[in-house]
């Protein structure tokens, strides 16, 4: 036993004491002193957002149980080193990504997740991405075929080049004329015609209402033996009400 202890002591090379490191030889004589400046003390690094998500998910997968938010806020710091204040935010991000399921039972919200659930979600996403890729490739092939067909139907020639130049000139002239027409504003013939039609419709409606007024006036005076001027005075209707030019 004494020899074993002596062997262990003689095999030590570094001894930390009072911030100094001493290199010890087999004979026990100090050879060189190293100050603590030779070593860089790294501050403890907090967990990143993704690491928090992984570790919080591990709680569900390792326990295979369901929890409430208060329980997770206690288990997070204890089991995985997650700050309790950030558990709610991390949990919500997992719920938004469908990695954790939640349901309200009574007045309490419960959360759970199973190891196979993530694999199923990733497989569904992969299948959806493959279907979208296949649809895009099919659409691209159809467009390329349509482009080739259009190019074959419209071979490049001097006549086609001249027609395209004339078309470009006509489009430019049309744009300039439209801008000039908009500058006239109320003098636009189309707008003038719209206003004329609106006036005609308003006049027809006024005539229709005055005719209805005259019919009602005649019926009321005959039924109640009242003079028309008395009714007009009572209703505040002028004598020129029915005169439309």
Closest CA to 52 of 92, 107, 101, 104: 92
Tokens representing 57?
A: 């998910």
* Per-residue tens of pLDDT for the chain, all 245 residues: 444 444 444 444 333 333 434 444 444 444 444 444 444 555 556 788 888 888 888 888 888 888 999 999 998 898 888 888 999 999 999 888 888 889 988 888 999 988 877 777 788 888 899 999 999 999 999 999 999 888 888 888 888 889 989 999 999 999 998 888 777 766 777 778 888 899 899 888 888 888 888 888 888 888 888 888 888 888 888 777 766 65
> How many residues does the structure list for the chain?
245
Say what the pTM is: 0.36
**Per-residue pLDDT tens digits for 120-135:** 778 888 889 999 999 9
**Please, what is the angle between helix 49-63 and helix 84-96, to 10°?**
80
Residues 94 and 129: beta-carbon distance below 8 Å: no
DSSP 8-state assignment for residue 101: E
DSSP H or E run through 34: strand 30-34
Spatial neighbors of 36 by CB under 8 A, at least 6 apart, are: 19, 20, 21
pLDDT at 89: 92
E strands in 69-113: 101-105, 108-112
Tokens representing 43?
A: 């501050």
Torsion of CA 35, 40, 46, 51, to 10 degrees: -130
User: 203: which strand partners?
Assistant: none
DSSP 8-state assignment for residue 67: B
Closest CA to 19 of 34, 41, 40: 34
User: Helix (H) and strand (E) counts for the chain?
Assistant: 8, 5
| Helix, strand, or coil (residue 139) | helix
DSSP H or E run through 184: helix 158-184
| Helix, strand, or coil (residue 79) | helix
Burial class (CB in 10 A: 0-12, 13-18, 19+), 228: middle
Residues 83 and 73: beta-carbon distance below 8 Å: no
Distance CA 157, CA 173 (A): 25
pLDDT at 110: 93
- Terminus-to-terminus CA distance in the chain, angstroms? 132
Q: Say which residue the tokens 């929890």 belong to.
A: 67
| Helix, strand, or coil (residue 177) | helix
**Per-residue pLDDT tens digits for 77-100:** 988 888 889 999 999 998 888 888
């Amino acid at each position: 036993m004494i020899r074993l202890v002596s062997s262990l002591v003689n095999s030590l090379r570094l001894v930390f004491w009072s911030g100094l490191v001493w290199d010890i030889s087999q004979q026990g004589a100090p050879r060189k002193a190293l100050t603590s400046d030779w070593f860089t003390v790294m501050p403890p690094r907090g967990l990143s957002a993704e690491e928090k998500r992984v570790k919080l998910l591990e709680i569900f997968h390792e326990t295979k149980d369901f929890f409430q938010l208060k329980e997770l806020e206690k288990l997070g710091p204890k089991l995985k080193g997650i700050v309790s204040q950030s558990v709610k935010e991390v949990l919500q991000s997992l719920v938004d990504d469908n990695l954790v399921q939640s349901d309200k039972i009574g007045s309490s919200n419960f959360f759970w997740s199973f190891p196979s659930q993530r694999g199923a979600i990733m497989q569904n996403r992969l299948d959806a991405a493959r279907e979208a890729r296949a649809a895009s490739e099919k659409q691209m092939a159809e467009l390329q075929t349509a482009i080739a067909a259009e190019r074959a139907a419209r071979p490049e020639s001097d006549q086609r080049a001249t027609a395209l130049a004339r078309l470009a000139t006509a489009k430019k002239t049309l744009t300039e004329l439209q801008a000039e027409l908009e500058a006239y504003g109320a003098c636009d013939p189309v707008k003038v015609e719209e206003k004329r039609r609106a006036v005609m419709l308003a006049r027809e409606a006024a005539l229709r209402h005055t005719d209805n007024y005259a019919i009602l006036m005649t019926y009321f005076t005959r039924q109640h033996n009242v003079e028309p001027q008395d009714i007009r005075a009572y209703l505040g209707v002028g004598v020129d009400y029915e005169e439309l030019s």
